[in-house]
Structure 1
Amino acid sequence: MSVERDMPGGLWRLPLAGAVALLLGVGFGRYVFTPLITPLVEAGWFSAQQTARLGAINLLGYLIGAAGANRYAHWLGPRRAIASCLIALVASLAACAWPWGMIGYGFWRLLAGMAAATLTIVVTPAIMARMPEARRPGASATIFTGIGVGTMGVSLIVPWLASFGVGATWLATAAIGAVLAGVSWLGVWRYLPGEAPADTPRQSTSRTPATPWAIIALVIVAYGLSSAGYVPHSLYWVDYIARELGRGLETGNRYWLVLGVGGVIGPALAGAAARRLGFDTALVLAFVLMTLATALPLAFVGVAGLGISSLVVGAMVPAIITLTAGTVHALAPVPRQRQIWGWATLSFAATQAVGGFAMARLYAAAGTYTVPIAAGAAILLVATGCSLAGAIGAHRRRSDRGQKR
C-alpha cells in the first residue's frame, strides 16, 4: 500500500525520517570518530596506530551488519529493526565517553558499525516501498542527503565540543543523537507498517530479458572497490591535515566540513547527471572525479588542493551510491533487484572492512598517511576501469536490443 493515498504527510515526513536515521547512523555512528582521532591521541587514550585499528573495527562492524541486515529486518520487522539500531547507536556514543581500553572501545565501535550498516540497508527499501513511483527519485535523494548532513554537522560541533574534553564530547553527541533518534522514530512509527517489509517485488507475468550478469558483476566490483578507496578520507583525513601536514586540528576540521558539504550536494548532482547521461555513464564520470580528487593531495597540499579533494570526494561518495543503485535498477529484472542490491551493499561493506585493516597496516608500516592515500587512489583507478567496462557492456546491450526491435 502506498503512503500517498492513506497518509499524504508521509510523502515528505517518511523520507525525512529516513534521512535523519542515516544522519545518526552514518554521520554520528561512523564519522564522529574521525575528527576525534587527534583529541583521543593527544589525551593519551590511544596511540595513532590504535585509533587506526579502532576505525577498522568500526568498518568490520559495518560488514557484519550488512551481512545480516535483511535477516534481522525480516525477523523483527522494519520498524523494530530500525528502533533497535537507533537505540544501539545512542548507547555506543554514550559508552565511548569512558576509556575502556582497546577491547571495550572496540566493542562499542563494532556495535556502532553494525547498527549503521543495518540502517543503511533497511531504511531505504522500506521507505521506497511506501512511496509512489514518481516520488521515489526525490525520496531517495532526500534519504542519502542525511549522510552528508551528518558528516557536515559532526565537523561543525565536534571541534567546539572537543575543547571540553573527549568524554564530554561523546556524551554531548549521545544527547544530540537521542534527539535525532526520537525525530526519526516518530516518522518511522507513524508511516511504516509494523510487519515484515512490504517491498518484495511481485513476480512479473511477462517475459523479461536475460539478466546481464557479467555487467552487473562489474558494477558490483566497482562499487565495492569504491569503499576501500574512500577509507583514507573517511578515517584519516582530519588527522592527516592536523598532525602530518602540521596545519592543526581546527584546520583539519574545516576540511572535514567541506567534505560534509560535498556529501550534501552529491545526491543532487548524481540525479542531474543521470538524467542527462544515463546512470551507467554518470557512474563512470563519478569514479573518474573521485579517483582524481583522492590522488590530488599527493601532488598538491595547498588550500586549493585540499579543498577540492575534500569537496569532490565528499560529493562523489553518495553520488556513487545513488548511481550504482540506479544502474542496478536499470539492469536487473524486477524480481532480483532487492537481492542484487543486497549483494552490492555486502560487497561495499566487505571491501571497506578489508580496506580499513589494510590501510591501518600500511600506515603503521610507513608512518605516513601518504601511502594509504596513494593506495586508495590506485584502488579507485581499478574501480573506474570496472565501471567503464560495465557501461560499455550496458550500451552494447541496449544497442542490440534496439536492433532486434
Structure 2
Amino acid sequence: MMNRLNTTIANAQPALRPASAGWATVAGFAASLVGIGLARFAYTPLLPAIIGAHWFDPSKAAYLGAANLAGYLGGAIFGRSAAAKTSTVFMLRAMMLLASVAFFACAYPVSFAWFFVWRFLSGTAGGALMVLAAPTVLAHVPPSRRGLVAGVIFMGVGVGIALSGTLVPLLLQQGLGETWLGLGLISLLLTALAWRGWPKDPAPAAETTHHPRPARNGTLKALYIEYALNAAGWVPHMIFLVDFVARGRGEGLQVGAQFWVLFGIGATVGPLLAGALADRIGFGRALRLSFIVEAFAVIIPVLGLGAGWLMASSVVVGAFVTGTVPLVLGRVHEILAHHPAQHSSAWQTATVGFALFQAVATYGLSFLFSYSDGNYSVLFMMGTAAMLLAFVIDVLAGAKSSSDSRSL
C-alpha cells in the first residue's frame, strides 16, 4: 500500500542520517500528539467537567468545541503560506508553543470570549501542524522507510486521544483549572522534545509528469464530498461521546473517559487496519465498505444495545477517524494514477473540505443539541445520515465512471 502512497511525496534528496531521521520522526509524533491528540481531542473528556463546574452551560461549552474546529480549518488553509513567509521549522515550533500556551490560558475561565479565542488558536495550531509536520519529515526519509515513519507520526493522534482519556480523570481530582495546567505542561515538554528534531534542509520539489488522458474530475469531486461528509459524521462521537455516557446515560465522567480511551485505541490502530484492508480489496472498495461500517457504528448509541455495543461503537468510529486518511489518500492516487502532479493539490482540497465540513457540522449539531434540549439521539442520527449519503454518492459516482469508461 505504501508504495502506492509514496508517489504523493517527492523523492527525497540526500536523506537524513539514521539518528537525525529518528529524532525527526519523534518530532512529528510529538506534533501530532500535541496539535491534534491533545489540543483538539482532550476537550471531549473535559466537556462534562466544564459543564459540571458551571464554567459554561452545555450549549456554550459545545460551541467552544466548535471554535477549535474552526481554528483547525484556518490553520489547515494558511499553515503552508505562513511557513513560506517565515520558515517551516519556525512555524512548527511556534504552533506547538501556541498549543501549549492555549492550555495554560484555558485554566482561567475569564469569560466566554477569552475561552473562545484560545480554543480557536489551539485549533489553528493543530491545523497548521497537521499540514506541515508529516510532509516535512517524510520528504527527508528514504522511500523504503516512509511507511513506518508515517505510521509512527499519525499514531500520535490516537495516542493523544487515549492519553487524554486516561490523564484527564486523574488530573480532575486536583481541579479543573489544574487539569488545563497539567495538559499545558505535558504539551510544553513534548514541544521541548521536538524542538531540535525538525529537518532544517528545505524539502525537495515534487517531480511532475504529464499524461494525455484527462483526470476523472467527477469521481474526484465526489471523493471530496464523501470525505467531507465523513468529517461531519464523526462529530457526534468526537464532541459528544463522553458527555453522552457521563450525563446522557448517567454513568459519570470516569466511565465516560473510559469510552474515550477506547476511542483513542481505535484511532491508534485504525491506519494500520485500514491499510491492510485496502491492500487486499483496493482503496475504492475499502472506502465504500467503511461508509457502511461507520454508519452502523455511529447509530449504535441510539439503538440502546448495551455497554458492549457502545464500546464497539467507540473503537470502530475512533479507528475510522484516523484510518480513513490513508483510504482517501490512496483513493486520490487511484483516481489520479496517470496524473501524479495533481496529487498534492487534490489532497489539499480534500483536507480543507474535511476541516470545513467538520467545523460547520460541529456548529450545526451544537445548535441542534441546544435547540432540542439536549437530545443526543438526534446528533447520532444526523451523523449516520452523513455516512449513508457518502455511500450513496460513492456508488453513483462509481456507476457514472464505469458508464463513461464504456462510452470511450
Q: Counterpart of 1:227? A: 231
Pick from 80, 105, 112 the counterpart of residue 95 of structure 1: 105
CA distance in 1, matches of 2:402, 2:324: 19
CA distance in 2, matches of 1:45, 1:36: 11
Q: Counterpart of 2:120? A: 110
Q: Counterpart of 1:356? A: 362
| Structure 1: tracts of 5 or more residues without a match | none
CA distance in 1, matches of 2:400, 2:152: 30
Q: Counterpart of 1:202? A: 207
Deviations 1:270-310 (A, max 9, x none): 11111111122111122221111001111135111210110
Contact 1:72 1:81 in 2 (8 A): yes
Q: Counterpart of 2:385? A: 378
User: Bigger shift: 257-266 or 12-21?
Assistant: 12-21
Deviations 1:64-102 (A, max 9, x none): 112212211222222111111001000001100001211
* TM-score, with structure 2 as normaliser: 0.92
* TM-aligned CA deviation for residue 199 of structure 1: 4.9
Contact 1:34 1:234 in 2 (8 A): yes
Contact 1:241 1:247 in 2 (8 A): yes
* TM-aligned CA deviation for residue 214 of structure 1: 0.8
CA distance in 2, matches of 1:243, 1:93: 24
Deviations 1:308-349 (A, max 9, x none): 110000001111112111211332322221111111110001
Contact 2:29 2:152 in 1 (8 A): yes
Contact 2:16 2:140 in 1 (8 A): no
Q: Counterpart of 1:39? A: 49
Contact 1:223 1:344 in 2 (8 A): yes
Contact 1:59 1:353 in 2 (8 A): yes
| Structure 2: tracts of 5 or more residues without a match | 1-10
User: Bigger shift: 122-131 or 349-358?
Assistant: 122-131
Check if 1:347 corresponds to 2:353: yes
Contact 1:289 1:316 in 2 (8 A): no
Deviations 1:139-197 (A, max 9, x none): 22222211111000000000110111110000011001111112222321xx342x4xx
CA distance in 2, matches of 1:336, 1:3: 21
Contact 1:4 1:11 in 2 (8 A): no
Deviations 1:337-393 (A, max 9, x none): 111111111000110111011000110011211111111111111112233445556
- Counterpart residue type for residue 369 of structure 2: Y
* TM-aligned CA deviation for residue 123 of structure 1: 1.4
Pick from 234, 237, 242 the counterpart of residue 238 of structure 1: 242
CA distance in 2, matches of 1:213, 1:111: 35
Q: Counterpart of 2:79? A: 69
Q: Counterpart of 2:285? A: 281
Check if 1:330 corresponds to 2:334: yes
User: Bigger shift: 362-371 or 86-95?
Assistant: 362-371
Check if 1:8 corresponds to 2:30: no
CA distance in 1, matches of 2:86, 2:401: 38
Structure 1's 70 and 95: CA in aligned 2 closer, same or farther, altered over 3 A?
Answer: same
Q: Counterpart of 2:136? A: 126
Q: Counterpart of 1:179? A: 189
* TM-aligned CA deviation for residue 132 of structure 1: 2.4
Structure 1's 390 and 183: CA in aligned 2 closer, same or farther, altered over 3 A?
Answer: farther
* TM-aligned CA deviation for residue 16 of structure 1: 3.1
CA distance in 1, matches of 2:159, 2:383: 24
Q: Counterpart of 2:271? A: 267
Contact 1:280 1:327 in 2 (8 A): yes
Secondary structure of 1:9's partner?
helix
CA distance in 1, matches of 2:305, 2:110: 36
- Counterpart residue type for residue 208 of structure 2: Q
Check if 1:317 corresponds to 2:321: yes
- Counterpart residue type for residue 150 of structure 1: G
Secondary structure of 2:195's partner?
helix
CA distance in 1, matches of 2:283, 2:26: 24
Contact 2:13 2:204 in 1 (8 A): no
Q: Counterpart of 2:6? A: none
- Counterpart residue type for residue 181 of structure 1: T
CA distance in 1, matches of 2:69, 2:16: 39
CA distance in 1, matches of 2:274, 2:401: 18
Secondary structure of 2:196's partner?
helix
Check if 1:366 corresponds to 2:369: no
CA distance in 1, matches of 2:166, 2:91: 30
- Counterpart residue type for residue 276 of structure 1: R
* TM-aligned CA deviation for residue 249 of structure 1: 0.8
CA distance in 2, matches of 1:370, 1:28: 27
Deviations 1:112-131 (A, max 9, x none): 01110111111122222222
* TM-aligned CA deviation for residue 221 of structure 1: 0.7
Structure 1's 222 and 80: CA in aligned 2 closer, same or farther, altered over 3 A?
Answer: same
Contact 2:12 2:204 in 1 (8 A): no
